[in-house]
Amino acid sequence: MSRLTLRLPESLHQQLSDLAKSEGVSLNQYIVYILTRQVAANYTVQANSDSSVQEQQKSFANLLKSLGEANPLEVQETLAQRELVDLEAELT
């Protein structure tokens, strides 16, 4: 387990101490709990509503329509102009 020294404003320290006491845990346990909860929330996947999904699909369809289509000859010409590079050993 790692150790972290942290400087807190006295008012925040007191608030955290009071909350820890009301939960019946140490200040350290309470801070670890709060940090864990916050980090876990960042990795939680939120489902989109059906209306949000439909709006995204509509926007994507409009984007594709505005971009148009490239004919096979244009694709081949563009690919022929690209710069070829050697593979990086780390990416094999």
pLDDT at 92 over 80: no
Nearest-angstrom CA–CA distance, 53 and 72: 32
pLDDT at 28 over 90: yes
Nearest-angstrom CA–CA distance, 6 and 66: 53
What does the pLDDT average to over 2-11? 93
pTM: 0.48
Radius of gyration of the chain (CA): 27
Provide φ and ψ at 44, rounded to 5°.
Answer: -85, 130
pLDDT tens sequence across 34-55 = 999 999 888 878 889 999 999 9
Please give the C-alpha separations between residue 56 and each of 46, 62, 64, 69, 89, in angstroms, as whole numbers: 15, 10, 12, 21, 38
What is the Cα 75 distance to its own chain's centre?
34
Nearest-angstrom CA–CA distance, 75 and 6: 57
* Per-residue pLDDT, 43: 83
* Per-residue pLDDT, 47: 87
